[in-house]
Chain A
Amino acid sequence: GAVVSQHPSRVICKSGTSVKIECRSLDFQATTMFWYRQFPKQSLMLMATSNEGSKATYEQGVEKDKFLINHASLTLSTLTVTSAHPEDSSFYICSACPSADREFTKNIQYFGAGTRLSVL
């Protein structure tokens, strides 16, 4: 149990285009999901906290108009990188926390497999 699916796993796009990444909790509901960014050989840096039915909370320094987050249901959050540029190339990872009424412990974050974004 506690499977998080992230799609696509790899995307290559031209500069100026927008890219949408999906994060789905497959066997549990998640009121809260998180989006992280990871540069090569570095740790995960939190970009934003995604809350179902409300606006995302962005970390300091993260442009909310650049990285649009939508958490429209209890099993799906999306991250859209708008007008992508080469400096946005990175590995993006989502995680989801089961809601309190699930058998899983609510304070554990389960991670998707990540999306490697390359902007040409």
Chain B
Amino acid sequence: AQTVTQSQPEMSVQEAETVTLSCTYDTSENNYYLFWYKQPPSRQMILVIRQEAYKQQNATENRFSVNFQKAAKSFSLKISDSQLGDTAMYFCAFMKHTGTASKLTFGTGTRLQVTL
């Protein structure tokens, strides 16, 4: 079974600053996907970024980037130029790579507060 650990229950960052959210995972799988999802106060889950384990290059999406360390089983999210709208719960998630859709295993989440 896979496990996902987010060791930072809450974090705070000032607007325009950079923040990094940590995530580690445990798996015996070699092929898998990792995700960061954002859940704002509306509770709508929004995909932030996705990483395929077989790709060494770190994924980036505008102000969001990841530091994927496969050997260390680490998958941190960096948010640059933080904006007030980034305030949300952030969940790290793991998915096995199978031929069909596979379930997500979520971490416990990090609550990020962006302040003025």
Known: A43-B91, A43-B109. A107 touches B45 (CB 8 A): no
Binary interface encoding of chain B residues 6-32 relative to chain A, with 1 for a CB under 8 A from any of its CBs, else 0: 000000000000000000000000000
A-B contacts at CB below 8 angstroms, number: 53
Binary interface encoding of chain B residues 42-70 relative to chain A, with 1 for a CB under 8 A from any of its CBs, else 0: 11111100100000000000000000000
Size bracket, chain B contacts:
20 to 34
Please tell me which one of the listed residues A32, A97, A108 contacts residue B50 in the complex, with CB atoms under 8 A apart: A108
A44 to B45, CA, bound (A): 10
- Does chain A have a CB within 8 A of B102? yes
Please tell me which one of the listed residues A34, A44, A49, A107 contacts residue B97 in the complex, with CB atoms under 8 A apart: A107
User: Is there contact, CB below 8 Å, between A107 and B43?
Assistant: no
User: Is there contact, CB below 8 Å, between B102 and A107?
Assistant: yes
- Does chain B have a CB within 8 A of A68? no
A59 to B100, CA, bound (A): 18
Cβ contacts under 8 Å, B95 to chain A: 107, 109
User: Is there contact, CB below 8 Å, between B100 and A31?
Assistant: yes
Binary interface encoding of chain B residues 89-116 relative to chain A, with 1 for a CB under 8 A from any of its CBs, else 0: 0010001010011111111110000000
User: Is there contact, CB below 8 Å, between A108 and B47?
Assistant: yes
A116 to B25, CA, bound (A): 30
Closest to B95 in A: A107
User: Is there contact, CB below 8 Å, between A107 and B47?
Assistant: no
A113 to B33, CA, bound (A): 23
Interface centre among A34, A45, A107, A111 (most CB of B within 10 A): A107
User: Is there contact, CB below 8 Å, between B106 and A31?
Assistant: no
Closest to A98 in B: B101
Closest to A113 in B: B44
Known: A43-B109, A107-B33. A113 touches B103 (CB 8 A): no
Binary interface encoding of chain A residues 27-46 relative to chain B, with 1 for a CB under 8 A from any of its CBs, else 0: 00001101000100011111
Known: A111-B45, A114-B43. A49 touches B109 (CB 8 A): no
Q: List 14 A-B contacts (CB under 8 A).
A: A34-B104, A43-B106, A43-B108, A43-B109, A44-B91, A49-B103, A93-B45, A107-B97, A109-B47, A109-B95, A109-B101, A111-B44, A111-B45, A114-B44
